[in-house]
Amino acid sequence: MTPLGEQPAPAHAGEGEDLGLVDAMAQLSFLVHGALTEIAARHGLSIIQTRLLGVLRDRTPTMNELGRYLGLDKSSITGLVDRAQRRGLVTRTVSAVDRRAFLISITATGRHVGGQVAAQFAGHIETLAAGLSDADRRQLSRLASQLVAAGANAQAANQDATIG
Amino acid sequence: MTPLGEQPAPAHAGEGEDLGLVDAMAQLSFLVHGALTEIAARHGLSIIQTRLLGVLRDRTPTMNELGRYLGLDKSSITGLVDRAQRRGLVTRTVSAVDRRAFLISITATGRHVGGQVAAQFAGHIETLAAGLSDADRRQLSRLASQLVAAGANAQAANQDATIG
DNA sequence: AAGGTTAGTTTGTGGCACGTACTAATTTAG
DNA sequence: CTAAATTAGTACGTGCCACAAACTAACCTT
């Protein structure tokens, strides 16, 4: 895993090494990302395909909107949806309002596969956290959520700066 | 960000939504991964190139060993090192012990660029965590480290199962 | 010296992500 | 109401990542 260059744990590692916030975040990110990559791959999906299915779980966006949800260029969306459609995971429907636009929706198959990946991912995280006390789990959930919120705010602020 | 399909935050979102452990881990992973991707890209690096430089910070492995560090097939390593070498970030040196093998080492340039990415990444994490109290930061660092350790153990156990 | 193993490369396939250029539909301006 | 500008999506070219299979060269074993 070794993300940005930390030392290997000392041989006499008593029990729980604290990596420090920065390395802990980096390594945790790689750990979770890698787990999701592997679980998704077991179902023939990439991470981005999995995220696509997640977004479509309760939305029917246009290609353009999809690009905003996933943070991708529209030219990337074409191929992404092409491949997903070829596998029967999503469908394109011409918009009734704008004949240029497609509405992308998830198929039953897509929903099924996406659900399986999500469930296995949840199981994996639970396994990883099995050693934590209930209080620690709540703490971790709360603190991680706070960082995510901070990140979302930073992104929103950036948007404003770009627009204004 | 929307990883596996969570609901958008309720409109009356008072202040800090708790996503639950699973979604918090997924979103945090995407947040950190995305930040590293963007910072690395500012220096013309991909994530994997950045990790390569991180590994080489205090090691001079062969191609093969590099593959194990990064979890990549040896055929992937060839291209990865090729591109890094073309940019003057790393060098191949024929092993004195085994004339088939190369020892891969980081150049001064590579060390410099890698250091910049690492520093900016650290700064970014610190910014994200700026809203946390010292106690919360320590908690988060500790809990994240514990998950990482759990993941490392799981991986080791898997190895054993595969080998034995 | 022969046979098997190991290190690394090559080639082919597929996916991800971008920028640019393009077509077609829609909206805006005059 | 038409002409110009904008918008939605695609096509194409580039580069990177990742793997599998086939290959060469060096090494080890016997």
**Whole-number Cα distances in Å, A164 to A18, A68, A73, B38:** 42, 19, 21, 22
Phi then psi for residue B81, to 5 deg, are -70, -40
Residue B121 CA to residue B131 CA, distance in Å, equals 17
Q: What is the pLDDT of residue B152?
A: 80
Mean pLDDT value across residues A36-40 = 95
Compute the Cα dihedral for A127, A45, B68, B120 and give only its sign.
Answer: negative
Over the stretch B46-85, which tens digit does the pLDDT of each residue have? 999 999 999 999 999 999 999 999 999 999 999 999 999 9
Mean pLDDT value across residues B32-59 = 96
Q: What is the pLDDT of residue A124?
A: 96
* Half-sphere exposure for B107 (CA within 13 Å, toward CB): 14
The helix/strand count (H/E) of chain B reads as: 6, 2
Alpha carbon B4 to chain centroid, angstroms: 21
Cross-strand pairs, B94: B102
Over the stretch A130-148, which tens digit does the pLDDT of each residue have? 999 999 999 999 999 999 9
Pairwise CB contact (< 8 Å): B129 & A21 = yes
Over the stretch A76-133, which tens digit does the pLDDT of each residue have? 999 999 999 999 999 999 999 999 999 999 999 999 999 999 999 999 999 999 999 9
Q: What is the pLDDT of residue A113?
A: 97
Q: Whose CA is closest to A40, among A87, A105, A102, A104? A: A87
Pairwise CB contact (< 8 Å): A24 & B140 = yes
Cα R_g (chain A), whole angstroms = 19
Minimal Cβ distance to B148: which of A28, A54, A147: A28
Mean pLDDT value across residues A17-38 = 94
Compute the Cα dihedral for A69, A71, A77, A83 and give only its sign.
Answer: negative
pLDDT band at B2 (very low <50, low <70, confident <90, very high): very low
Residue A4 CA to residue B118 CA, distance in Å, equals 6
Q: Which of A36-50, B2-16, B77-91 comes out lowest in average pLDDT?
A: B2-16
Residue B35 CA to residue A30 CA, distance in Å, equals 12
Interface test with B, best of A7, A19, A31 (most B CBs within 10 A): A31
C1' of D24 to CA of A8 (Å):
36
Q: What is the pLDDT of residue A12?
A: 46
B154: which chain A residues are within 8 Å (Cβ-Cβ)?
127-128
Min Cα separation B139/chain A (Å): 8
Q: Of all residues in chain B, what percent carry a pLDDT higher than 90? A: 81
Q: Is the pLDDT of residue A57 over 90?
A: yes
The helix/strand count (H/E) of chain A reads as: 6, 2
Q: What is the pLDDT of residue A158?
A: 57
pLDDT band at A31 (very low <50, low <70, confident <90, very high): very high
Two structure tokens written together for B100: 């088939």
Phi then psi for residue B95, to 5 deg, are -65, 140
Mean pLDDT value across residues B144-163 = 73
Residue A116 CA to residue A121 CA, distance in Å, equals 8
B122: which chain A residues are within 8 Å (Cβ-Cβ)?
22
Q: Is the pLDDT of residue B21 over 70?
A: yes
* Residue A28 contacts strand C, CB under 7 A: no
Confirm if B80 and B55 have CB atoms less than 8 A apart: no
Q: What is the pLDDT of residue B153?
A: 76
Pairwise CB contact (< 8 Å): B24 & A118 = no
